[in-house]
C-alpha cells in the first residue's frame, strides 16, 4: 500500500533537481489518480511509493524489522555501518528501500537518520528482478482497482525519470489500457546520456504518456500534498530554476525526435472516425518531400508526433512538427511538400500558428488529411480551418485510402492488412459534408 506522505528531509534529499546528486539513487514517486467524468476530473487517490522488494511469488511485501538486531546496534553512533558489518554473517540481503513504515523508532532512526538499509531475512525468497522500483509498485497497486469502463488521469511526480526497464513496463501497461492517461513530472533525468534510457522515454511518449520536468510549481505542489511539512511553506533550493531549464532542454532534445511507427491499438483507437469518446490526444503522421523541377518529389522524412511531446511548451502535435521542421529540415530556397494525416483537425490556436508559418514560408505546401473534425460547430475552430485554406493549405477528410496508407507506412503491422471498422465510409461522407459547409 502507498504511504500518504514522506518526511521533509527525504523530500529535500531526493527531489533536489541538481543534475549530479551524489548518493541519492533511490527513486520516489508521488501520485494522484483522477477519474474523468463529463470532461471533469474527479479526485480518487493520492499517495507516495518508494522502492520495495517482492518475493518470487510476485506479491509486494514490506521489509520486516530484523528480530536479531541488538540494542547496541540501534543505539550505536553509526547503526548503518553496524548493520553492513553484520551482513556477511546473516542469511538475507540488504535492500535500499524507502517506502515503508517502520515498526520501531530505532529502526526508523537507522533508515531515515543514517541512510542504512533494511534487512530481509528470507534470502531464499529474494530475486534481484523483483526489487521493485516505485513505478512498478504503483502499477501493481493500481491494477487491483482499475475499472476497464472508466477513463483515468494519472499524474506522477518522480525524483528520477523512469529507468529503461520501468519505461518499457509502463509503456506496455498504457498500450493495454488506452483509457489511462499518464503525465510524468520528473525532478531529474536518469542516465539520460545513455541511448537505451533515452529510447525508454520516447517509448513512453509513443504510448501516450506526457513526460515533463518538474518546475517550481510542481515542487511546491508536492510539498503541500505529499510531504509532512509542519505547515511550513516550500522554500526552493539554490538554482532550482536554472537546473529546471537545463533539464527541460535535455528532455526537449530527447523527445523532439519523431517516432517511426505507432502500435496498431493506438492507431485504431485514435484514428477511428466514429464518435470520439475519450480520444483526447492528437496524433500526427507526416511526410516531407523535396520538390524539384522536372523530377517527382523525393521523400526526405516520415514520422509521427503526438501532442504534449515537449515539456517546455504546451505543445500540440502540429507545434511539435513545426518546431522539429524548422530546426532540422527547412533550408532556404528549397521547396517542400508536407502531408499530414492527423487524428483531429487543428484547434483554432494551432490553425492560426500553422497559417502564420505558411504565410512566412511560401515555398512550403501543406496538405492535411483529418480523421475527425475538432469542435467543428464552434465558430473559432471553423474560422481556423478557413484561415488555413486562405494561406494555401489543402484540408481534406481521411477516407479508406488514407487510412490504408497510414496503416502501411506509420503503423507496426507485421504484414497484416488494414481492416476497416464498421461505419468508416458513412462517417467519412458525414464529415466531408461538414467540412464543405465550413470551407464554403
Tell me which residues are annotated as active site: 318
Long-range pairs for 324-327 at CB < 8 Å and ≥24 separation?
A: 324/256, 324/257, 324/258, 325/288, 327/256
Residue that the C-alpha cell 502499477 belongs to: 139
Q: Provide CB contacts within 8 A for 114, sequence distance 6+.
A: 78, 79, 80
Is residue 262 within 8 Å of residue 281, measured between CB atoms? no
Grid cell of 197 as nine digits: 534510457
How far is Cα 315 from Cα 324, in angstroms, rounded to an integer? 12
How far is Cα 230 from Cα 409, in angstroms, rounded to an integer? 56
Q: First-to-last CA distance in the chain?
A: 58
Is residue 346 within 8 Å of residue 368, measured between CB atoms? yes
Bridge partners, 283 (sequence order): 306
Q: Provide CB contacts within 8 A for 118, sequence distance 6+.
A: 63, 94, 95, 97, 100, 107, 111
In three-state secondary structure terms, 297 is strand
Q: Which of 194, 244, 186 is nearest to 216 (CA)?
A: 244
CA-to-CA separations, 92 to 95, 119, 223, 425, in angstroms, rounded: 10, 7, 36, 64
Q: What is the largest CA-CA distance in the chain?
A: 88
Is residue 370 within 8 Å of residue 318, measured between CB atoms? no
Output the CA torsion sign for 210, 161, 302, 400.
negative
Bridge partners, 43 (sequence order): 34
How far is Cα 387 from Cα 395, in angstroms, rounded to an integer? 11
| DSSP state, residue 365 | E
Is residue 6 within 8 Å of residue 28, measured between CB atoms? yes
How far is Cα 432 from Cα 66, in angstroms, rounded to an integer? 70
Q: 348-360 and 317-328 helices cross at what angle (nearest 10)?
A: 20
Amino acid at each position: 500500500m502507498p504511504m500518504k506522505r514522506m518526511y521533509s528531509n527525504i523530500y529535500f534529499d531526493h527531489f533536489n533537481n541538481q543534475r549530479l546528486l551524489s548518493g541519492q539513487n533511490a527513486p520516489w514517486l508521488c501520485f494522484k489518480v483522477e477519474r474523468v467524468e463529463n470532461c471533469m476530473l474527479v479526485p480518487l487517490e493520492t499517495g507516495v511509493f518508494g522502492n520495495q522488494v517482492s518475493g518470487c511469488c510476485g506479491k509486494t511485501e514490506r521489509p520486516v524489522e530484523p528480530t536479531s538486531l541488538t540494542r547496541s546496534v540501534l543505539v550505536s553512533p553509526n547503526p548503518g555501518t553496524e548493520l553492513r558489518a553484520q551482513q556477511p554473517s546473516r542469511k538475507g540481503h540488504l535492500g535500499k528501500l524507502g517506502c515503508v513504515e517502520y515498526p520501531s523508532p530505532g529502526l526508523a532512526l537507522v533508515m531515515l537518520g543514517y541512510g542504512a538499509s533494511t534487512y530481509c531475512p528470507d534470502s531464499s525468497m529474494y530475486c534481484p528482478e523483483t526489487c521493485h522500483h516505485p513505478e512498478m509498485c504503483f502499477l501493481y497497486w493500481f491494477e487491483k482497482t482499475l475499472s476497464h469502463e472508466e477513463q483515468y488521469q494519472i499524474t506522477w511526480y518522480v525524483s528520477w525519470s523512469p529507468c529503461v526497464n520501468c519505461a518499457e513496463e509502463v509503456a506496455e501497461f498504457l498500450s493495454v489500457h488506452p483509457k489511462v492517461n499518464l503525465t510524468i513530472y520528473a525532478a531529474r533525468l536518469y542516465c539520460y546520456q545513455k541511448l537505451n534510457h533515452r529510447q525508454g522515454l520516447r517509448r513512453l511518449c509513443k504510448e501516450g504518456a506526457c513526460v515533463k520536468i518538474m518546475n517550481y510549481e510542481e515542487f511546491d505542489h508536492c510539498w503541500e500534498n505529499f510531504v509532512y511539512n509542519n505547515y511550513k511553506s516550500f522554500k526552493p533550493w539554490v538554482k532550482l530554476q536554472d537546473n529546471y531549464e537545463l533539464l527541460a532542454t535535455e528532455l526537449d532534445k530527447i523527445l523532439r525526435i519523431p517516432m517511426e511507427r505507432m502500435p496498431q491499438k493506438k492507431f485504431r483507437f485514435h484514428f477511428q472516425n466514429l464518435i470520439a469518446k475519450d480520444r483526447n490526444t492528437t496524433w500526427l503522421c507526416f511526410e516531407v518531400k523535396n520538390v524539384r523541377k522536372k523530377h517527382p518529389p523525393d521523400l526526405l522524412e516520415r514520422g509521427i508526433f503526438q501532442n504534449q511531446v515537449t515539456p517546455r511548451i504546451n505543445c500540440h502535435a502540429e507545434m511539435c512538427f513545426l518546431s522539429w521542421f524548422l530546426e532540422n529540415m527547412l533550408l532556404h530556397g528549397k521547396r517542400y511538400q508536407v502531408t499530414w494525416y492527423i487524428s483531429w483537425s487543428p484547434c483554432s490556436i494551432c490553425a492560426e500558428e500553422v497559417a502564420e508559418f505558411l504565410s512566412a514560408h511560401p515555398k512550403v505546401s501543406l496538405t492535411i488529411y483529418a480523421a475527425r473534425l475538432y469542435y467543428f460547430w464552434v465558430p473559432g475552430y471553423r474560422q481556423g480551418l478557413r484561415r488555413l485554406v486562405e494561406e494555401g493549405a489543402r484540408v481534406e477528410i481521411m477516407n479508406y485510402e488514407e487510412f490504408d496508407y497510414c496503416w502501411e507506412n506509420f503503423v507496426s503491422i507485421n504484414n497484416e492488412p488494414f481492416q476497416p471498422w464498421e461505419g468508416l465510409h458513412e462517417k467519412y461522407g458525414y464529415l466531408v459534408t461538414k467540412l464543405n459547409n465550413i470551407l464554403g
